[in-house]
Amino acid sequence: MTASLHGSRVAFLVAPEGVEQVELTAPWRAVGEAGGNAELVSVSSGPVQAFEHLDKADTFTVDRLVDEVGAADYAGLVLPGGVANPDMLRRHEAAVRFVGDFFRESKPVAAICHAPWMLIEADVVRGRRLTSYPSLATDLRNAGAHWTDEQVVVDSGLVTSRSPADLEAFCAKLVEEIAEGPHRLRSRQTERTG
């Protein structure tokens, strides 16, 4: 990767369980390799239980609680998927507010697979072009998004991808967007890659 994050802090927001492990670890590694500092943020302290599909995988230690941090503390936000992960998170007001704050501050956000459910809950998808796991397409369209079936979609700092199969492109784009810094929403202007 050519972009550098020069010690920038990047938040990874996850629920206490249900995050798809590779959707956490691959972007985490990409942020670290680009010189960034990844921090695991959750709604409760203690270990986070990751999964490989439906099977328990590794556990990860929470660095910060979501109600103790804000978008101002980070250069960008990564939302890993897993079906249960965003479904749990969207029921926590502090987590939803945290996501929304990144958009209010025009900071880059990267969401993969089922993670765009959090974007719907934060009411930040209307008018935006994005992708997700295919089963979320109707939910996203109903929330006002322009859903497309592409490997990775970038819209004014919002990076989205469909599944773990897209991780290489997703990781490269999220590092690039975070390195670029805040992105003001451009009227009907999006970047397409895929």
- Report, as residue numbers or ranges, the catalytic residues: 113-114
**3-class SS letters over 136-154:** HHHHHHHCCCEECCCCEEE
The number of angstroms, rounded, from the C-alpha of 41 to the middle of its chain's C-alpha atoms is 12
Provide, for the chain, the percentages of residues in helix, strand and coil under a 3-state DSSP scheme, each rounded to the nearest 5.
35, 25, 35
Q: What is the 3-state secondary structure (H, E, C) of 35-69?
A: CCEEEEEECCCCEEEEEECCEEEEEEECCEEHHHC
